[in-house]
Amino acid sequence: MSDISIPAQRQLEAYNNRDIDAFMECYSENCVVEDGAGNILMENKDAMRKRYDLLFQESPDLHCRLVSRIVLENYVLDEERVTGSRGSSEERHVVAVYKIENGLITHVRFLN
């Protein structure tokens, strides 16, 4: 049996390394990213790649610190502290809910 949290952990490491290719390998082709209210922020890998590639380019000090992780069936809930986004000195407190299917992240909801 494999650890369902592996894709969430791999994408976190790729995010911190600002490695767009390794980051995108963790997501399904039709992944949906939503905000806490369920509004769609991105819908498919192409949209994600464009948005995250730009974020990585504009944020040389970008870092996400994992505070806690809960795994429940095929969901991974990560409490995170994000700094360095687009040069900001503010720390953002985020909870990311990842749905994992067949070893890939298929859905993300960001609560912040």
At 8-29, the pLDDT tens digits run 999 999 999 999 999 999 999 9
Candidates 102, 107, 111; CA nearest to 4 is 102
pLDDT at 47: 96
Q: Quick check: 26 and 10 in contact, CB under 8 A? A: yes
- Number of neighbouring beta carbons within 10 Å of residue 46: 11
The count of C-alpha atoms lying within 13 angstroms of the C-alpha of 81, restricted to the half-sphere facing its C-beta, is 6
Q: Average pLDDT, whole number, for the chain? A: 96
**Domain spans, the chain:** 6-111
Spatial distance between the Cα atoms of 8 and 27, rounded to a whole number of angstroms? 9
pLDDT in tens, 103-112: 999 999 999 8
Spatial distance between the Cα atoms of 6 and 98, rounded to a whole number of angstroms? 11
Question: What are the φ/ψ torsions at residue 28 (nearest 5 degrees)?
Answer: -75, 160
How much is the pTM? 0.94
Q: Domain 6-111 carries which CATH code?
A: 3.10.450.50
Q: Quick check: 32 and 47 in contact, CB under 8 A? A: no
